[in-house]
Amino acid sequence: MHSLRDLLQEAQENGVAIGHFNISDLVLLKAVFAAARELNVPVLVGLSEGEREFVGVRQIAAFVRSLREEFDFSIFLNADHTHSLAKGVEAAKAGFDSIVFDLSALPIEENVRQTKQAVEALKAINPSILVEGEIGDIGTGSEIHESSPDVSKGLSTPAEAKHFVESTGVDILAPAVGNTHGMLRSMVQGETKKHLDIERIAGIKRAAQVFMTLHGGSGTDDEDLRKAIAAGINIIHINTELRVAWRHGLEHGLGKHPDEVVPYKILPPAVEAVKQVVGSRLRLFNGGRHAAQGA
């Protein structure tokens, strides 16, 4: 079994990206794992602080570990958007493989100071854990938004990224490059797409020389995602697209069986709807080269 660091290095060398999908229940986990196994590509599942509180930190760690061990499969667990060291320590002690320590709302030097402390503390618990830091403004909430936030003033610069990485020792950087959390209603309906600053991604990669994550990938133009990977993005986060599919699948299951009360008879359409989204994203992130295996 390769480590997450090894697989990120391999992905970078091969010009592909590892898909990161947020989960908050067994339906989502089953769907993500099934899609990744079909395509035989490594995958990251992540949980924000709210998602971890709902599922249970130690419980989801045990669940993911059991899948990895039973099927000898590269599925890894990330503590997404962790805003305090205490929450990070909790995830590290539970056995998470990576932690996004997100203090991007703070002034950059305060972000640097606290992130450096977090890297040292978390690696003291588990030296092989990967710690991700975040700079810039990409909005909040993996939800359906009525209007798009103006994140143009919070875009990351190559100089800022280089300073942050060198000062903190983070393994992975999450910059603001035109990406935003959540989706507009028009994106859900397929009328509009997010677009990324590809030149900025390439400039940050050259300056920082570190693995890079694109947060807020839902609703982004496919060609922009391909270009972002070529420019240096190694991990892409998808959440809102999965939540929309989960909701539609659940509504379909309830509508198909209006008198059914057995959860495992109602929920399969939700699993399948999420699986379809995950599969399409994984094919894109892996350059389409695994599509035949998953056919």
Q: Are 51 and 77 in contact (CB under 8 A)?
A: no
User: Taken in order 93, 82, 19, 13, is the CA torsion positive or negative?
Assistant: negative
Distance CA 247, CA 178 (A): 27
47 phi/psi in degrees, rounded to 5: -140, 125
Residue 272, exposed/middle/buried by CB under 10 A (0-12, 13-18, 19+)?
middle
Distance CA 174, CA 191 (A): 27
User: Taken in order 91, 57, 81, 287, is the CA torsion positive or negative?
Assistant: positive
With CA atoms as reference, report the closest residue to 22 among 68, 79, 73, 66: 79
Q: Which residues are known catalytic residues?
A: 80
What Å distances lie between residue 199 and 109, 178, 228, 244, 247, CA to CA?
25, 11, 9, 31, 36
With CA atoms as reference, report the closest residue to 31 among 287, 268, 295, 281: 268
| Per-position b or e across 22-48, b if 16+ CB within 10 A of its CB | bbbeebbbbbbbbbbebbebbbbbbbb
Torsion of Cα atoms, 123 then 125 then 127 then 129, to 10°: -70
Distance CA 177, CA 54 (A): 30
Question: Per-residue DSSP letters for 114-128?
Answer: HHHHHHHHHHHH-TT
